Amino acid sequence: VEEHPGVLKPGYCPVVFSRTAKVACKMTKILWKMGKKTGGAKVDNPPELSQFESAEIEFEPTAPLFVEPFAQCAALGRFAVMDSNRLKMLGKVSSVVHGES
**Chain segment 16-39, per-residue pLDDT in tens:** 999 999 999 999 999 999 999 888
The pLDDT of residue 11 is 96
The pLDDT of residue 4 is 79
pLDDT class of 101 with cuts at 50, 70, 90: low
Hey, what domains does the chain have and what are their CATH numbers?
15-92 (2.40.30.10)
pTM for this predicted structure = 0.86
Q: What per-residue string of b and e applies to 36-72 under the rule 16 or more CB within 10 Å gives b?
A: eeeeeeebeebeebbeebebbbebebeeebebeebee
CB-based contact 7:63 (threshold 8 Å): no
Kindly report the backbone phi and psi dihedral angles of residue 89, in degrees, each rounded to the nearest multiple of 5, phi listed first.
Answer: -150, 155
